[in-house]
Structure 1
C-alpha cells in the first residue's frame, strides 16, 4: 500500500536536524510498502503528489471534493490531528474513502499550557524575567522587585467552556492548585447535572478557559456581550479554536479594561495576518503563543502511534 504524508513539517523535526528532538515517523511509515513524506504541499501540488496513493496523511492540507474526485486510487485519509474540517467528509463518503483522525493525543499538553497561562497571569513571571533581562533588578534599591501585581490561584474560580478530555484534565490540574471549578453550559446544548448556565458562571469567574469545538453555535461566542458579563479583574484563555472569539471585540475589551487580560494559543487565521486586531501594539495584558499547546514531543509521538494504529486496522480489515 502506498501512502503520502503531505505536510510532515507540521510535526516538527522529522528529518533528524540537530537542535531539537527528532520526531520518529517509522511506526507510521512501517504500515506501508511505500511511504513518501513531503515537508509542505501547496494546493496545486496535491493531485500530482497523491495521484498514485492509496492513503493520504495530512494535518492542514485541504482535501476538497474537486481534489478527491481526481484521486481514483485513494482508499483512505488519515488526519495528523483530531479536527477534520479540512476534508470534505460528504464527498469522501460518496467516493468510498475512509477518513480517520486521532483523538486525545494532546490532552495533557494542551491542559499544561492552559495552566501555564493562568500561572503567568498570577505570578507575572514572564514580565519579571524581562525586567531582570533588561537590568532593572540589578538597579533595585532592595532585594526584590515586584513591579507587577502577584496573586495566588488558590481560591480563585475557573470557568470551563467545554468539558471534554482536555477540559476535564484542566479541571484536575486547577483543583490541585486549590481552585474552584465551574463547568458552563454552552448555549443551545442540553444542561447537564454538573453544569451551570453560562450567564451565571461568567460573573463568578476569575479565569475563563475555552475548550469547546468550533461549531455554528460557538463561532464568535466570546463577543462584547460575553466579555461584559465577566469581572474586570478576570482573564480569558483560549487553547481551543481561534474563531470562538470575536477578535475585534476582545481587542476592544482589553484596551478598555473590560477584562484584565487574555492568553491565546489560537487565532482565527493561522498564521495570522499582520492586521489582526489582536496583534496591534496597544493591546494590554495579552499573551499569544503560536498554536503550540498540542506540540509536546510526547504528544507528537502519541499522534504518530495513533495514526499507525488506525492504518494497521485498515490493513487488517
Structure 2
C-alpha cells in the first residue's frame, strides 16, 4: 500500500533543522509499503503527488470533490488533525474513500496555553520581562519594578463557552488556581444541568474562554452585543476557531475599553492578512500567538500515533 503525506511540515520541522524535538514519523512509515513525505504541497501539485496513492495523509491541504474524482486508486484519507473541513466528505463517501481523523490528542496542550494567557494577564510577566530587557529595572529607584497591575487568579470567575474535553481540562486547571468556573450555554443548543445562560455568565466573568467548534450557531457569536455584556475589567481568550469572533467588533471593544484585553491563538484567516483589524498597532492589550496551542511535541507524537493506529486498523 502506497501513502503520501502532503504537508508534514505542519507537524514541525521533521527534517531536524531546528532545536526543537523532531516529530517521529516512523510509526506511520511502518504502516505502508511506500511512504512519500512532502513538507508542503501547493494546490497545483496535489494530483501529481497523489495519482498513485492508496492513502493520502494531510493536515490542511484541500481535497475537494473534483480532486478526489481524479484519484481512482485512492482508498483512504487520514487527517493530521481533528477538524475535517478541508475534505469534501460527501464526495469521499460517494467515491468509497474512507476518511479518518484523530481526536483529543492536543487537549492538555490547548488547555495549557489557555491558562498561559490568563496567567500573563494576571501577572503581566511578558510586559515586565520586556521592561527588564529594555533596561528599565536596572534604572529603578528601588528593588522592584511593577509598572503593570498584577492580580491573582484565585477567586476570579472563568466562564467557559464550549465544554468538551478541552473545556473540561481548562476547568480542572483553573480550579487548581482557586478559580470559580461556570459553563455558559451556547445559544440555540439545549441547556444542560451544569450550564447557565450566556446572558447570566458574561456579566459574572473575569475571564471568558472559548472552546466551542465553528458552526452556524457559533460563527460571529462573540460580537458587539457579547462584549457589551462583559465586565470592562474582563479578558477574552480564544483557542478555538477564529471566526467565532467578529474581529472588527473585538478591535473596537479593545480600543474603546469595553473589555480589558484578549488573548488569541486563532484568527479568521490563517496565516492572517496584514490588514486584519486585530493586527493594527493601535489595538491595546491584545496577545496573539500563531496557532500554537495544539503543537506541543507530546501532542504531535500522540497525533502521529493516533494516525498510525487508524491506518493499522484500515489495513
What is the TM-score normalised by the length of structure 2?
Answer: 1.00
How far apart are the structure 1 equivalents of 2:307 and 2:64? Answer: 21
Identify the residue that residue 121 of structure 2 maps to in structure 1: 121
How far apart are the structure 2 equivalents of 1:314 and 1:289? Answer: 36
Identify the residue that residue 303 of structure 2 maps to in structure 1: 303
Identify the residue that residue 260 of structure 2 maps to in structure 1: 260
Identify the residue that residue 134 of structure 2 maps to in structure 1: 134
How far apart are the structure 2 equivalents of 1:49 and 1:290? Answer: 28
Map Cα deviations across residues 217-274 of structure 1 (whole Å, 9 max, x no partner).
1000000000000000000000000000000000000000000000000000000000
Identify the residue that residue 272 of structure 1 maps to in structure 2: 272
How far apart are the structure 1 equivalents of 2:29 and 2:167? Answer: 32
4+ long deviations beyond 2 Å: none
Q: Secondary structure at the match of 1:183?
A: strand
Q: Give the drift of 1:16.
A: 2.4
Q: Secondary structure at the match of 1:111?
A: helix
Identify the residue that residue 246 of structure 1 maps to in structure 2: 246
* Residues 18 and 254 of structure 1, relative CA distance in 2, 3 Å threshold: closer
Map Cα deviations across residues 261-300 of structure 1 (whole Å, 9 max, x no partner).
0000000000000000000000000000000000000000
After superposition, where does 1:1-317 map in structure 2 within 5 Å? 1-315=1-315
Q: Secondary structure at the match of 2:263?
A: strand
What is the TM-score normalised by the length of structure 1?
Answer: 0.99
Q: Give the drift of 1:45.
A: 0.5
How far apart are the structure 2 equivalents of 1:22 and 1:148? Answer: 38
How far apart are the structure 2 equivalents of 1:19 and 1:166? Answer: 28
Q: State the superposition RMSD in angstroms.
A: 0.5
Which consecutive residues of structure 2, in runs of 5 or more, have no partner in the other structure? none
